[in-house]
Amino acid sequence: LNILETLIKYKDEFLESLKLNVKKEGHQLEEVVEKTELPGEYARRFTLHPIDDPGQVLAREEELTTLQKAYDNWKITKNCLLIVGESGSGMTSLMNANLKLYEDVKVIENKDNIHSSSKLMDIFKDIFQLEEVNSIKDIPEKLDKEVQRVIIFENIERLFLRKVHGFHLLEDFLLLMHATKDFIYWIVTINKFSLYYLDQTYGFSPNFLSIIKLPPFPIDYLKEVILQRNSGYEILYLKPENPSTLLSQRLKQAEKDKKQSILEEAFFTKLYSFSDGNISRSILFWKNSVIRISEKRVYVKAYEPKPIGDLSLDDLFILEAILQHTSLSSKELQQVLRHSSKGSVLSLAS
């Protein structure tokens, strides 16, 4: 038995040295929940919502110039615009900053999935102020072609569901867009995972000749946003849970007053690698890193994301489906994965 135990120990050490042994931790959702309850005033500073003030949209100057150029081009070529980005990458904020460019602009925000023609019809009826329309195909005839307008259609991925006959609303929308693009400048936004799926299966992108892909934010911008939201507070960076050898050495050699700047640099490098330039993920990382707030002083220790562990194929299918649609209800997931209703609920629960 002793020999066996020793062998198992050596095996674990060997795998550890190869970094192959992933300890199965962090499977429980509870572990992801914030450790510290942030004070109300402080927590409100980090709520996730699009920015309405164009002045606050920074690091998107190039994209704003491209938007202006695309609008100028539409006046001649009548090409619609597609904006691609991750959820939480600031697409809506960019659109808000862009609104001042247009005279007559309407925004269709799709926060929920749309699966019925009647619901989509209601949206268009409301936008175009139409009353007697029987189908989406009839809309172009009812519109005044002399009036030029701009319509921002956000999250177009909300119009499809990955199932048989789940693409008809998307097709109807594209037909309407092509039928009206001479007098309506359509700006459509889409999640990058949905676009990849739709491009590979339906050839979605060729419907748009102008495409803007939002790049990730630079680390300096993310740092600026985080520090801005912390104005009035003193930040104290603590040594991370598992510091690298290099960081430990640097901290040992550094003088007292320089230690904070080294820790700050290490913290934001970690934040950037976690968020991959996504502003929403950066804010989540910050909120999970705050361990204590006392008398206008914030104690921050870099959040250590727990390894997810091995995911089963079914879990991966669920994740893929959710990424492709941005969000799915249990019933929608059931339809996408072709599960029974009980099976779908059980898959989600596990």
Partner 1 sequence: MKFIKFCFLVLCLALPQFTFAQDETNSAGEVAENVAENVGKTVTGVGDNVGNAIGRATDIISFEKIFTIVVVILMLLGIIRMMNWLFAYAVKRFNRHRLKILRMQPIVNVLLWITTIYALIFTLFNPDQETLYAFMASSALALGFAAQDILKNIFGGLLIIFDRPFQMGDRINVKGNYGEVIGIGIRNTQINTLDDSIVTVPNSAIISDSVSNANSGALDCMVVIDLWLPIDVDVELVRKIAFEACITSRFLNIDKSVNILFFDHFNQTPATNVKIKAYVFDARYEKAFAGDVTEVAKKAFQKAGIYKKKKKEQA
The amino acid occupying position 171 is: E
Is 154 in contact with 108 (CB distance < 8 Å)?
yes
CB of 164 to partner 1, least distance (A): 5
**Separation of alpha carbons 86 and 194, rounded Å:** 10
**Number of residues in contact with partner 1, rule: CB under 8 A?**
18
Contact between 193 and partner 1 (CB under 8 A)? no
- What does the block give as tokens for 322? 């959710």
Binding mask 11-50 for partner 1 (x = CB under 8 A): ---------x------------------------------
Per CB under 8 A, which region of 38-46, 56-64, 84-92, 199-207 contacts partner 1? Answer: 199-207
Per CB under 8 A, which region of 233-241, 269-277, 296-304, 336-344 contacts partner 1? Answer: 336-344
Question: Can you tell me which of 298, 337, 344, 347 binds partner 1, judged by CB under 8 A?
Answer: 337
Contact between 317 and partner 1 (CB under 8 A)? yes
Per CB under 8 A, which region of 126-134, 144-152, 197-205, 262-270 contacts partner 1? Answer: 197-205
CB of 201 to partner 1, least distance (A): 4
For 220-284, the three-class secondary structure string (H helix, E strand, C coil) is HHHHHHHHHHCCCCEEEECCCCCCCHHHHHHHHHCCHHHHHHHHHHHHHHHHHHHHCCCHHHHHH
Is 97 in contact with 57 (CB distance < 8 Å)?
yes
CB of 102 to partner 1, least distance (A): 35
Question: Can you tell me which of 320, 326, 327, 345 binds partner 1, judged by CB under 8 A?
Answer: 320
**Separation of alpha carbons 96 and 54, rounded Å:** 7
Report CA dihedral (323, 328, 330, 333) to the nearest 10 degrees.
-60
Contact between 336 and partner 1 (CB under 8 A)? yes
Q: Which is nearer to partner 1, 63 or 332 (CB)?
A: 332
Binding mask 159-178 for partner 1 (x = CB under 8 A): ---xxxxxx-----------
Binding mask 237-276 for partner 1 (x = CB under 8 A): ----------------------------------------
Q: What is the DSSP string of 81-100?
A: EEEEE-TTSSHHHHHHHHGG
The number of residues making up the chain comes to 350
The amino acid occupying position 69 is: K
Which residues in the 81-110 window bind partner 1 by CB under 8 A? none
**Separation of alpha carbons 222 and 260, rounded Å:** 19
Which spans of this chain sit near partner 1 (rule: CB under 8 A)?
20, 162-167, 197, 200-202, 310, 317, 320-321, 336-338
